[in-house]
């Protein structure tokens, strides 16, 4: 196998990112640089990502960030074998910026261009960080997605389950907003939960015990709101306890749904359980998954926190894996605001991801 | 100086390569479109550079930075900055309004040249120039009636998608404005010429929106907290 270096560009949500990733002759991955600029401060006042603000921030930041990624990797574009950019799914205004700039760089340097599905970036990250072999079970939990996917090869994904309403990260953010915690809510809920009693409130574990490894979080979010309204005005301890009880319910659901997915895969067991997406940075969820894997003897691959949230390295790596197999894309590749990893659709997912 | 010029700010996608020394457009292409700029731009770039001697011969990239469609502006700027980075050359920004006005300047009539882009709801993005190209009114978002009051003193020729609205509003106010009936998007050769003349230090390839992002605060408010 030939050693390869790929530049990766990510701009699908509120992180502007660029990275250079290398695979050696044995195919082992290495991150040479990973420059990420978060827009959290720009969106904080609105309590969520504002697409137009995100797009404005991406266009200002992206090319300096690409320069930085190249500098930190100690290389120039001449040392790059291919340029990869996330082409979706995500906020179309941002996606088009990274996609267009990536294409422009590829065209002007006569390098191959690879359009990457942002979710595929998350899905293949454990192969970069832990060298995990196919097939493996991927738990993808972020502000926009809650899915369990059997990753069977590059470009071969089988969605086993999906949320039927809110994504888990969305539920964390909405709970935080309700409880008056600052944006972004996920890490704040985790911090507050550490000081609270997870057993004070008995919140539902939606979907627990069902055969299909689907998720549902809107009922849990509503339960938090109803309990909180009952006892408002809220003391600090109330908020801590609500967060702890909510997080405990979320962890139970995640572990139960992973079990359901593993049951579906019993005939050809996965090599590992892998978590990705921003919510995979949550310590309680990481501990829950560690317990599950300890019980079942399954390898657990948790990317470092910095590689759970959106980043350029995951796009560079997915681009590298695709390029290695001969997948390249043309200048006419269009941004895809919706782009499921698999073509399989189930009516119970209501088009949610 | 060889300039690659890009415009995706209005209802068209245009690319050209311009030879500043010979003052000649080497190759150019324009496709009118309401949407689909992002999909059309890079394939067009591929065609134009193939016919125009490739990227290695370029000394500069010029791009219209607005005002215009926010998304359109960003697509052009993203492409321009990407090519500038890849080729190690400068990217410069050109005002869409200046590019619209350019073909009407330096005529014998000494008219005030107004470039106006329809910004809907009775507003235009507008800039005015004297016949020598000096800026009389810097780019701004303005209502049609305010624009007419601003332009009341001179003999005016207007161009761009907002020109007709400007004439109608002026007529209602008893003023007469001439309208230049050319396309609603800039001549890409004008973008290239302005780009060749621009100073990269003062004309960065950075979007000129002239309008704050439209943001609505939504969602439930936080529950009340106990006072300790």
Smallest Cβ–Cβ distance between B85 and the set A66, A225, A335 belongs to: A66
Torsion angle, alpha carbons of A146, A148, A149, A150, to 10: 170
Is pLDDT of B83 > 80? yes
Task: Please check whether residues B75 and B32 belong to one and the same domain.
Answer: yes
Q: Tell me what the mean pLDDT of segment A259-278 comes to.
A: 95
What is the C-alpha to C-alpha distance for residues A73 and A59, in angstroms, rounded to an integer? 22
The pLDDT, as a whole number, for residue A140 is 95
DSSP letters along B113-151, please? EEEEEE-STTEEEEEEE-TT--EEEEEEEEEHHHHHHHT
Is B77 in Cβ contact with A229 (below 8 Å)? no
Is pLDDT of A343 > 80? no
Smallest Cβ–Cβ distance between B86 and the set A77, A174, A236 belongs to: A77
Read off the pLDDT of residues B94-109 as tens digits, 9 standing for 90 and up: 999 999 999 999 987 8
8 Å CB contact between A129 and A313 = no
Residue with tokens 């106990």: B226
Provide the CB-side half-sphere exposure for B188 (13 A, CA).
27
8 Å CB contact between A293 and A182 = no
Read off the pLDDT of residues B169-180 as tens digits, 9 standing for 90 and up: 999 999 999 999
Q: Does A238 touch chain B (CB under 8 A)?
A: yes
Is pLDDT of B216 > 80? no
Is pLDDT of B215 > 90? no
Smallest Cβ–Cβ distance between B81 and the set A63, A225, A239 belongs to: A63
Flag whether B225 is in a domain: no
Question: How many domains, in total, are found in chain B?
Answer: 2
Q: In chain A, whose CA is at the least distance from the CA of B209?
A: A56
Two structure tokens written together for A232: 């408002």
In B, which residues are within 8 Å of A234 by CB distance? 223-226
Is pLDDT of A183 > 90? no
Task: Please check whether residues B132 and B108 belong to one and the same domain.
Answer: yes
What is the C-alpha to C-alpha distance for residues A146 and B176, in angstroms, rounded to an integer? 61
Task: Please check whether residues B89 and B189 belong to one and the same domain.
Answer: yes
Task: Please check whether residues B9 and B79 belong to one and the same domain.
Answer: yes
Strand order in the sheet with A146-153: A156-162, A146-153, A136-141, A272-276, A299-301
The pLDDT, as a whole number, for residue A350 is 64
Task: Please check whether residues B82 and B192 belong to one and the same domain.
Answer: yes
Confidence of residue A353 (pLDDT cuts 50, 70, 90): low
Size of interface A-B (CB pairs under 8 A): 132
In A, which residues are within 8 Å of B61 by CB distance? none
Flag whether B221 is in a domain: no
Q: Mind listing the domains of chain A with CATH numbers?
A: 4-128+307-349 (3.30.420.40), 134-302 (3.30.420.40)
The pLDDT, as a whole number, for residue A179 is 95
The pLDDT, as a whole number, for residue A342 is 84
B6: CATH: 3.30.420.40
Flag whether B216 is in a domain: no
Task: Please check whether residues B172 and B106 belong to one and the same domain.
Answer: yes
Q: Does A194 touch chain B (CB under 8 A)?
A: no
Confidence of residue B182 (pLDDT cuts 50, 70, 90): confident
Q: Tell me what the mean pLDDT of segment A184-202 comes to.
A: 95
Q: Tell me what the mean pLDDT of segment B153-180 comes to.
A: 94
Its domain, for residue B72, covers 2-97+185-197
What is the C-alpha to C-alpha distance for residues A15 and A122, in angstroms, rounded to an integer? 14
Confidence of residue B228 (pLDDT cuts 50, 70, 90): low
Task: Please check whether residues B6 and B68 belong to one and the same domain.
Answer: yes
Read off the pLDDT of residues A7-40 as tens digits, 9 standing for 90 and up: 999 999 999 999 999 999 999 999 999 999 998 8
The per-residue pLDDT of chain B, averaged, comes to 94
Q: Tell me what the mean pLDDT of segment B83-96 comes to.
A: 98
Q: Tell me what the mean pLDDT of segment B60-69 comes to.
A: 98
Q: Does A200 touch chain B (CB under 8 A)?
A: no
Q: Tell me what the mean pLDDT of segment B103-120 comes to.
A: 92
The per-residue pLDDT of chain A, averaged, comes to 94
Provide the whole-model pTM.
Answer: 0.94
Read off the pLDDT of residues B140-149 as tens digits, 9 standing for 90 and up: 999 999 999 9
Flag whether B215 is in a domain: no
Task: Please check whether residues B40 and B151 belong to one and the same domain.
Answer: no
Q: Tell me what the mean pLDDT of segment A229-241 comes to.
A: 96
Q: Does A230 touch chain B (CB under 8 A)?
A: no
What is the C-alpha to C-alpha distance for residues B56 and B88, in angstroms, rounded to an integer? 10
In B, which residues are within 8 Å of A48 by CB distance? 219
């Amino acid at each position: 196998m030939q050693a390869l270096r790929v530049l990766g560009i990510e701009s699908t949500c509120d992180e502007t990112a660029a990275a250079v990733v290398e695979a050696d002759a044995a195919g082992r991955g290495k991150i040479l640089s990973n420059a990420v600029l978060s827009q959290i401060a720009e969106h904080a006042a609105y309590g969520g990502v504002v697409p137009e603000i995100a797009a404005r921030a991406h266009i200002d930041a992206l090319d300096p960030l690409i320069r930085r990624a190249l500098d930190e990797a100690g290389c120039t574009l001449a040392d790059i074998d291919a340029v990869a950019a996330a082409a979706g799914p995500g906020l179309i205004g941002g996606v088009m910026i990274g996609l267009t700039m990536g294409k422009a760089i590829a065209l002007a340097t006569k390098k191959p261009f690879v359009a990457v599905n942002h979710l595929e970036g998350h899905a293949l990250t454990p192969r970069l960080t832990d060298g995990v072999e196919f097939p493996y079970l991927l738990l993808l939990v972020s502000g926009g997605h809650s899915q369990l996917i059997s990753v069977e090869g590059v470009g071969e994904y089988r969605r086993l389950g999906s949320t039927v309403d809110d994504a888990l990260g969305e539920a964390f953010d909405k709970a935080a907003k309700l409880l008056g915690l600052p944006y972004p809510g996920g890490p704040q809920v985790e911090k507050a939960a550490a000081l609270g009693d997870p057993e004070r409130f008995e919140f539902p574990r939606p979907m627990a015990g069902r055969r299909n490894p689907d998720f549902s979080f809107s009922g849990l979010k509503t339960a938090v709101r109803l309990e909180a309204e009952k006892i408002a005005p809220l003391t600090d301890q109330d908020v801590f306890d609500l967060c702890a009880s909510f997080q405990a319910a979320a962890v139970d659901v995640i572990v139960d749904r992973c079990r359901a997915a593993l049951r579906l895969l019993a005939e050809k067991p996965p090599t590992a359980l892998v978590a990705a997406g921003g919510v995979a940075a949550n310590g309680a969820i990481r501990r829950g998954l560690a317990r599950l894997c300890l019980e079942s003897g399954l390898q657990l691959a948790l990317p470092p926190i910095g590689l759970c949230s959106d980043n350029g390295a995951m796009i560079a790596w997915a681009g590298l894996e695709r390029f290695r197999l001969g997948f390249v894309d043309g200048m006419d590749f269009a941004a895809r605001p919706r782009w499921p990893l698999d073509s399989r659709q189930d009516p119970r997912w209501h088009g949610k991801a | 100086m060889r300039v690659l010029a890009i415009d995706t700010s209005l209802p068209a996608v245009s690319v050209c390569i311009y030879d500043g020394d010979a003052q000649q457009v080497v190759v150019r292409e324009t496709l009118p479109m309401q949407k689909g700029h992002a999909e059309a731009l890079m394939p067009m770039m591929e065609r134009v550079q193939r016919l125009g001697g490739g990227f290695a011969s370029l000394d500069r990239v010029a791009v219209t930075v607005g005002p215009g469609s926010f998304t359109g502006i960003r697509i052009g700027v993203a492409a321009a900055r990407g090519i500038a980075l890849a080729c190690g050359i400068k990217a410069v920004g050109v005002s869409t309004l200046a590019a619209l006005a350019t073909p009407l300047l330096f005529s014998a009539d000494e008219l005030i040249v107004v470039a106006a882009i329809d910004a809907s709801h009775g507003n235009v993005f507008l800039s005015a120039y004297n016949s020598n190209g000096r800026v009389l009114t810097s780019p701004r978002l303005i209502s049609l009636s305010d624009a007419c009051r601003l332009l009341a003193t001179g003999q005016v020729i207007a161009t761009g998608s907002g020109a007709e609205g400007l004439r109608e509003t002026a007529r209602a106010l008893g003023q007469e404005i001439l309208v230049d009936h050319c396309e609603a998007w800039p001549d890409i050769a004008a973008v290239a010429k302005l780009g060749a003349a621009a100073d990269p230090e003062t004309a960065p390839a950075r979007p000129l929106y002239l309008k704050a992002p439209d943001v609505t605060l939504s969602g439930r408010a936080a529950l009340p907290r106990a006072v300790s």
